[in-house]
Structure 1
Amino acid sequence: MAMAYMGAGCSFYCLLYYNRHFQYYYLGNRISTFNFFKQRMRKQRTSLSFSVRRHFIDEFFFAKRGFINKTSQIIDIGGKRDKKRGLFNIDSYGAKVIYVNLDPRSKPDIVADASNIPLADESCDIAIMGELLEHVAEPMEVLKEANRLLKKGGVLLATTPFMYPIHADPYDFGRYTENYWLEAALKTGFSKAEIEKQGTIFAVLALAMQHLFLAPTTSSIGIIFKKIIRRIFENPFLKILMWLDKKCKAESLQAWTTGYGLTFLK
């Protein structure tokens, strides 16, 4: 009997505790108990939530943030101030960023072609090109222009896809290998180049799987079926493939990659 009273007392105490907790949470944050649980259960968004390719792009730029400080003069060629993809945001570092884009709808600071930007020589510390170079007909001309704009000791940080679907923005001109980018860096006046492969064959498979699930479906049955299959299979297989990607040491499997991260020093 004593144990029963003790159990009831503990339950009553816990009920009071949780009631006070939820009441406090509701008053402080204006959300209901249901929303409290909903927020606790919600998965944290990562770059993989966008795409495998975006995961590597974000990973590259986050790794290079040591180049950035509040006095840096940065030019983002082909970038957008709003509606950014992924999690990396160059604006969050307190530096001055000049956006250059050929499309005026992206509301850039300068509307210009990437190979002909109306800024003075050696006026920037850092040039950024996120997934731009595949969309220009002459990548070396764009690299020359970036070199012209950079101060001595400045750095170009760029990403470019390799094994990735053709995507017009407005055009998609090519995919280039590691050897091409090394040669391009030398020919366009950079003193040092570092090329980083972004993923192995397992990342390529994960990327292909994501695009398979994202393929458009018109029938309502197809949409429902795809959602069920995606919920059951996509996340587990994605995690397995990305885990294998990190463990992969075989040179033949490393010959496959989603793209490259480029660090060119002037």
Structure 2
Amino acid sequence: MTLKHQYNITINKYDGTLSLISDLARLIDRKYAKIFHSVVVHGSVATNEVIPYSDFDGLLIVRDEFINSKPLQKFKIESMKLILKFDPLQHHGWFQIKESDLKNYPENYLPVSTLKHSKLIYPSKENVEYNLKFSEEIDYKSGLRAMLNQFEKRNQNNWKPSNTYELKSILSQIMLMPCLYYSAINNKGIFKRESFDAVKHHFTAQEWEPIVVASQLRKDWNNNFSKFQLVLLKIPHPLLRKIIKKFGAPKINLATQNMLNSEFYSNLNMLIKKIKTDIQ
């Protein structure tokens, strides 16, 4: 595959006050420095826009020889203990690439438009410069199609989120749709926050309404955990967490249930059909 594009980017040191980031940096420095080229945080944590809904988005750039190593797996478990203290409903793990991927950067996995808003966790220096190279032909559609197919399958099975863990996961997917849609029709990435205004005009009010509802629920999010639920939801063990996130998360409150009515799901289906038509 011929590499056509090149992008030079400087990631500056994290300049916020969130204790999670300093805790992660200390963990890496103390035990895991040798396995990473660098580690960055992106999303609301990086831009200092943390709200109660916020989760943690971080990218590991792993030295190639450690990509399938036990130390890397141990780091993920140890770091997840810290991440779950920040967000007990964390619904995904670390983003991850190999150091060699910088020479064939997976732009459709984590767009440069997102990476350039990130902040450096490791190494402990003021900034790191990346000279990224990536292919001329990038598939921006397959990931979006997979998400849309998942939503359609849920609809066929009349599946609805049963607790706040499942709800947060679904809302996050819905709010990612404008970003993925923009990339699919324009063949380039965009920062998630900027994607809403960039694509809204493509949709009717009904089609866009699920984005409005999801955004409002994000804004009004309130983590109402019992002490017992907090203890359970902070357990990082992967197998146990599959059970805990199903049965240990708080139930969805009545006001939210009323917003997620039949009209919401009908409009969501229209949104999905519109996107699938547009990206054919």
Structure number with larger C-alpha Rg: 1
Per the TM superposition, whether the score is higher than 0.5 is no
- TM class by smaller structure: under 0.3
